Amino acid sequence: MKINGNTILITGGGSGIGRGLAEAFHAKGNQVVIAGRRKNLLDETVAANPGMKAAVLDIENSETIRTFAEKLKKDFPTLNVVIHNAGIMKPESLKDAAVADAEAMVTTNLLGPIRLNAALLPFLLKQPNPVIMTVSSGLAFVPLAMTPTYCATKAAIHSYTQSMRYQLNGTTAQVLELIPPYVQTELMGPRMASDPNAMPLKDFISETMSILENSPNSTEICVERVKPLRFAEASGQYDAFFKNFNDGMAAAAAAH
């Protein structure tokens, strides 16, 4: 990926990993457009980064996505990079048989990127140096049992990204997958942002940008901290890893 001179859309860009990426790319000399539901967070981010742009997007609404995409193409005709980062993560007790949270996660985390990609891909493929980056998770490879639907959506995003990369082979587009570990954000509430067991956000962003800059042909962006999850299956010890990982996370959750 070319590290500067792009026009980049980042969904979920008002907080967490999305904001971290937006500010890092902005500092590298890219035109960055952040999108998300919460206008107050978008406005705060833009105010702190003069020159950055923002647009409100309800990623759960398919009609809104189409309207958003058409306006985006008109307002930013040089758009060549899309980072599908918006997502929600909620714990679920499957014994309760409730589905509202699961449906919201599927709509936001999976259908959102698929719909936005469909609306923008023909336009992107006409641009110089087009890049589509999805954001999955280490939990796509070793699920956290307390968040089953979230993990399932991220596994689906990984699969979707592989298929997209294969289908776009022969075009000029780069298809990248960013695979975060457990990072200090507010994805599951304020406590997560200071959890010592999570990777500090600034460290994650710094290592991610270093990989993008120094390994421009990488298709999967994996910081060192996520590799035990990403390659658990290849280690031949998946079952033990899965149990130890989930036992440890359940114990940590119970302690709070």
- In this structure, is the dihedral angle defined by the CA atoms of residues 234, 236, 239 and 245, taken in order, positive or negative? negative
Write down the pLDDT at residue 194.
86
Catalytic residue among 150, 160, 166, 182: 150
Compute CA distances 175 → 126, 164, 179, 214, whole Å.
15, 7, 13, 17
Whether 256 shows a pLDDT value over 80: the answer reads no
Calculate ∠ Cα 70-154-145, nearest 5°: 145
Q: Which residues contact 212 (CB under 8 A, 6 or more apart)?
A: 1, 3, 218, 221
Q: Cα–Cα distance between 196 and 192 in angstroms, integer? A: 9
Domain ranges of the chain: 7-229
> Half-sphere exposure of 210 toward its Cβ, with a 13 Å CA cutoff?
9
pLDDT in tens, 178-190: 999 999 998 888 8
Q: Cα–Cα distance between 38 and 241 in angstroms, integer? A: 37
Whether 86 shows a pLDDT value over 90: the answer reads yes
In this structure, what are the phi and psi dihedrals at residue 55, rounded to the nearest 5 degrees?
-150, 135
> Half-sphere exposure of 248 toward its Cβ, with a 13 Å CA cutoff?
8
Helix ranges (DSSP H) in the chain? 16-27, 39-48, 62-75, 100-105, 112-124, 148-167, 201-214, 227-230, 238-254
150 is an active site residue: yes
- Mean of the per-residue pLDDT values of the chain: 95
**Does domain 7-229 correspond to CATH entry 3.40.50.720?**
yes
pLDDT in tens, 54-80: 999 999 999 999 999 999 999 999 999
- Asked if 87 contacts 138 with a C-beta cutoff of 8 angstroms, the reply is no
Q: Are strands 81-84 and 53-56 parallel, antiparallel or unpaired?
A: unpaired
Write down the pLDDT at residue 43.
95
Write down the pLDDT at residue 12.
95
